[in-house]
């Protein structure tokens, strides 16, 4: 997971979430996976994502005078190990948009529990960001440095994630979703003068209709 500077304002709005999957492709929000042949319980895919810690200089006082940061396209590969007791996901992506031109890797372990119409999926994960990614999203260049906002070149870091997704089956094709979780930011991010806290909490609520 990637987050923008934590002193910036957070937009709150309702957005449609597209989810589509067949034998060859999986589309989930701003990401798409082109499925490759499986190897036993392990599935592989070529992955494309649109993401990034986008912000503008007017989003918060600490960002005034900063160059705008943009989200961009990421390409790479992913693998999923489907076991009876758990699912392990791994992903490696490179920024091909010309912004950070960096790398990130993600590892996520989850397990699904069912109780009547409810499904509970707790998960833990870690996301590694290389120095280029941290420098672009959270760095301060010499031209952007001010008193109280020193130059920061960034360094590679690891974020830790904890997540719980709860689903309630309303009907065969309808489901309510609630997802809560948090991210503990690595020192490469929290050392940035743009970041004012170590942990970020999140919650998402949604409705899913399967055609």
| pLDDT tens-place string over residues 84-121 | 889 999 999 999 999 999 999 999 999 999 999 999 99
Give alpha helix (H) positions in the chain: 131-138, 187-190
Q: Are 104 and 128 in contact (CB under 8 A)?
A: yes
Q: How many CB atoms lie within 10 A of CB 169?
A: 15
Cα 184 to Cα 199: distance, rounded to the nearest angstrom = 5
**Unique residue bearing structure tokens 């007791």:** 85
3 pLDDT band, cuts 50/70/90, is low
Whether the pLDDT of residue 4 is over 90: the answer is no
Counting residues of the chain whose pLDDT is more than 70, the rounded percentage is 91
- CA 82: distance to chain centroid? 21
Q: Which tens digits make up the pLDDT trace of 26-39?
A: 998 889 999 999 99
Q: Which tens digits make up the pLDDT trace of 178-206?
A: 999 999 999 999 999 999 999 999 998 88
Q: Which tens digits make up the pLDDT trace of 53-92?
A: 788 888 889 999 999 999 999 999 999 999 988 999 999 9
8 pLDDT band, cuts 50/70/90, is very low
The secondary structure of residue 68, as a DSSP letter, is P
**Unique residue bearing structure tokens 């003068």:** 193
Residues 129-161 as b or e (16 or more Cβ within 10 Å = b) = bbbbbbbbbbbbeeebeeeebeebebbbbbbeb
Tokens of 193: 């003068």
Distant-in-sequence, close-in-space partners of 24: CB < 8 Å, separation ≥ 6: 34, 35
């Amino acid at each position: 997971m990637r987050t923008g500077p934590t002193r910036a304002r957070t937009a709150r709005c309702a957005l449609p979430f597209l989810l589509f999957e067949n034998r060859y492709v999986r589309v989930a929000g701003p990401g798409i996976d082109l499925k490759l042949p499986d190897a036993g319980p392990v599935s592989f895919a070529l992955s494309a994502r649109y993401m990034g810690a986008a912000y503008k200089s007017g989003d918060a006082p600490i960002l005034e005078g900063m160059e705008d940061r943009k989200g961009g396209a990421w390409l790479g590969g992913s693998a999923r190990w489907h076991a009876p007791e758990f699912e392990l996901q791994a992903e490696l992506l490179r920024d091909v948009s010309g912004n950070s031109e960096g790398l990130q890797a993600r590892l996520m372990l989850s397990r699904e529990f069912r109780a009547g119409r409810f499904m509970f999926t707790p998960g833990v994960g870690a996301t590694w960001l290389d120095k280029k990614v941290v420098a672009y999203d959270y760095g301060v260049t010499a031209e952007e440095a001010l008193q109280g906002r020193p130059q920061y070149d960034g360094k590679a870091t690891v974020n830790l994630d904890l997540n719980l997704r709860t689903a309630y089956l309303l009907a065969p094709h309808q489901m309510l979703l609630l997802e809560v979780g948090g991210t503990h930011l690595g020192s490469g991010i929290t050392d940035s003068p743009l970041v004012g806290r170590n942990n970020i909490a999140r919650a998402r609520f949604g409705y899913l209709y399967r055609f």
